[in-house]
Amino acid sequence: MVEPKATDLMERIVSLCKRKGFIFQSSEIYGGINGFWDYGPLGAELKRNIKDYWWRAMTRWRQDVVGLEASIIMHPKVWHASGHTTTFADPMVDCLLTKKRFRADQIEPQSGTAYHYSGAQDASETVEGGPARNCAEPYSVLIETGKHPGYAQEIARKFYKERGVRWPTLLGERGEELQNTTRYNPDNGSLLTEPRLFNLMFKTHVGPVEDQENVAYLRPETAQAIFAQFKNVLDVARQKVPFGICQIGKAFRNEINPRNFTFRSREFEQMELEFFIRPDEAVEAVCGSVARPQGPGHPGRPQANWGWQMWHQYWVEERIGFYENIGLPRASLVEYWQKPEELAHYARATVDILYKFPFSKRDAAGEPAGEELEGIAARGDFDLSQHQRFSGKSMVVFDEELKAAWPKVEKERQEQLLNSYGQARLKYLTKSGEPEEKAVPQAREEADRLAQGYFVPHVIEPSAGVDRLALALICNAYAEDQAPDEKGKMESRIVLRLHPRVAPVKVAIFPLLKNRPELVGKAVEIRDLLRPHLAVFYDETGAIGRRYRRQDEAGTPFGVTVDFDTLGEKGPEFKDTVTLRARDTMQQTRMKINDLLPFLSEKIQ
C-alpha cells in the first residue's frame, strides 16, 4: 500500500480524532479558540489511561516516590524565585505585511536576494489629483535568487499601500544576497519586525481589585509546587533523600504560535517528577566512592553510591521503558542530549525524549528528527536554593548517615570534598546575584554544614506532557489496511493499534443479532460481568462486520461476539463460549466466558 504523505497523514489523523470523538476544537460552535482543545469520550478515556499508568509507574509501584496535587494559582513569588517572571519568554516577530506572528527561533533559515526600499512616494497627485501621502519607512522583501524583482516590488507596494500610500512609487531599490537569514516571513518574503521577548505566562488577578498588587499567574509548569511544598512533604512522607515527589496537572503557556494540532497548546497537562538526591560529595563521604555510568543502557536497581549521572541515566532509561510499555516502539523515539550551549545555566545535563511525529522536520537522510515528548534534566540544587533564598525558609535536609560517615573520611579527602561543594555553592550564589563579600563566607559556611550532615538536595526532573503523549500514541497507532467485509470481500479499514493498556475501550461486546433476546441477554450479562473491572462498550446495532470496523477505528483491542454457539445450539461443548476477535490480527478464537476477565486483565495490566 502507498504510504500517505506526512501532511495527508496528519489530516487523516486529525479527521479521525474528530469523527471518533478523541479530540475536538475548543468552543468550536463559536469558531474555536487557537491553542485550546477538548477531549471527547474516547480522548478523555485515553488521557485518563495515560495518567493512571504514569501515576502507577511513578509512585504506586515504587517505594521512593510520593504524590502531590497542588493548586494551579500560587503565590506570585514562586514565579519570581523560579525565574519565570523574568526569563520565561520567547522571542516573537511579526510579519510587517500580514501581521502574522512567529516565534523567532522557529523560523527556518533562508537564502536569497533581499530587495531593500528606502520608502515610497505617492503618485496620487498625478494619477487622481488627490493629496500625496509619502512613506519614508524602509522595507525589504526576500525572494529566491534569480527570480524577477517584480515579485518583491509587488509585495513592497502592498506594504506601502497598507501605510496609506495610495499609488506607491518605490524608492531606492537595492538588491543584496543573503545566506541563512531568519529576518523574513517564509510564506511571503516580507521583512519581519525585530524580535521582542514575550513572557508566556497567563496573568490574572486574585480578588476583586485588578491592580498590580493582585497579579497572579496560571502555572506554566507543575514542578514549582513540588519545590515549594518540598519541606511539608518531607515532614510527613516518611521518606529520606533519595526520594521523589510527583504530580500531574494542568499547565498554561500563552504560546506565540500554537501548532501541530495539540502538540503545542496553550492549555495542557504535565506529568512531572522531582527526584531529590544527595550531592555527589555527600555520596562519596557516605559510600567511599561515587558510581558513574560505565556505558549506555539501564543501570539497574538504584544503589546508595550512585552520583547524579547514574540517577540521570536511570531516569532516562526508566522513562524510555515507560513509553515502550504503552506501545511506542524504541525506534519511534529519539534520545536527544542537549548540547552544552542549549543547556539552562543551572542544568548539568538534559536529555529530551523525542517522538517521530508525522510533522517532525526531516534530517538529511529523510528520517523524522522527532519532537519533544519529555525532558529529563539534572538541575543540581538550583530550584530548592532559589526557593530558600526567595522565601527565607530553609530547604536544607539533615542526613544522619552523612553526619556519622564524615569523621571517618580521610582528612585530605574531606578538604577536597568541602572545596568542591563550596565552589559549587559559590558559583550558584554569585550567579544569582549575591555580592562576592557575602557569597564567599556563605559558601564556606554551607560547606561546613555539609560536614555536619546538612545540604540542599539536588534534583533530577523527568517532565512529560500528557497531550503530546496522547497525540504520539494516536499517530503511532494509526494504520490503514485491508479487512474482509461480511461477504469476505477485502475492503480498506482504518485501525488504531493502541496498546491495550491505554486503549479507551478494552473490549466491545456484541450480540450477533439484536432481535434475539437470548443473545442480547447473554451479551448484557457478559457486559455486566466485565464492566466493574475494565472499560467495555456494548453495541448491538448494524452488521457484525461494521461493528468490528467501528471498534477498530476507536482502537478497541478486543471484540466479544455472542452467537448461537454460546447458547449451546451447536453442542454442549460450546455452551458459554464466545468468539474473541483480536483487532490487530483480526483472528477469532473461541473462549469460555469465565476465562475472559483473567485474559483481558492480563493484557491490560
Q: Which residues bind ligand ATP (CB under 6 A)?
A: 221, 253, 255, 264-265, 268, 270, 372-375, 463-465, 467-468
Angle between helices 593-604 and 517-530 (to 10 degrees): 40
CA-CA-CA-CA dihedral for 563, 569, 575, 578, to nearest 10? -20
The one-letter code for the residue type at 144 is: E
Supply the minimum distance, in Å, between the C-beta of residue 249 and ligand ATP: 11
- Residues with Cβ < 8 Å from 560, sequence gap 6 or more? 507, 508, 509, 510, 523, 526, 578, 579, 580, 581, 596
**Whose CB is nearest to ligand ATP?**
465
The one-letter code for the residue type at 510 is: F
The one-letter code for the residue type at 131 is: P
Nearer to ligand ATP, 20 or 264 (CB): 264
Supply the minimum distance, in Å, between the C-beta of residue 376 and ligand ATP: 9
Nearer to ligand ATP, 48 or 259 (CB): 259
Q: Alpha-carbon distance 320 to 330, whole Å?
A: 8
Contact 163, 142 (CB under 8 A): no
Q: Which among 221, 197, 209, 192 is positioned nearest to 70, based on CA atoms?
A: 221
Cα–Cα distances (Å) from 223 to 68, 91, 458, in that order, read: 10, 23, 14
Query: What is residue 184's three-state secondary structure?
Result: strand
Nearer to ligand ATP, 270 or 332 (CB): 270
Supply the minimum distance, in Å, between the C-beta of residue 255 and ligand ATP: 5
Nearer to ligand ATP, 103 or 157 (CB): 103
Nearer to ligand ATP, 373 or 378 (CB): 373
Supply the minimum distance, in Å, between the C-beta of residue 402 and ligand ATP: 31
Nearer to ligand ATP, 253 or 506 (CB): 253
Nearer to ligand ATP, 472 or 507 (CB): 472
Query: What is residue 63's three-state secondary structure?
Result: coil
Supply the minimum distance, in Å, between the C-beta of residue 571 and ligand ATP: 55
Supply the minimum distance, in Å, between the C-beta of residue 200 and ligand ATP: 9
Q: Alpha-carbon distance 332 to 358, whole Å?
A: 11
Supply the minimum distance, in Å, between the C-beta of residue 272 and ligand ATP: 7
- Residues with Cβ < 8 Å from 218, sequence gap 6 or more? 72, 73, 201, 202, 204, 252
Supply the minimum distance, in Å, between the C-beta of residue 14 and ligand ATP: 16
Nearer to ligand ATP, 241 or 460 (CB): 460
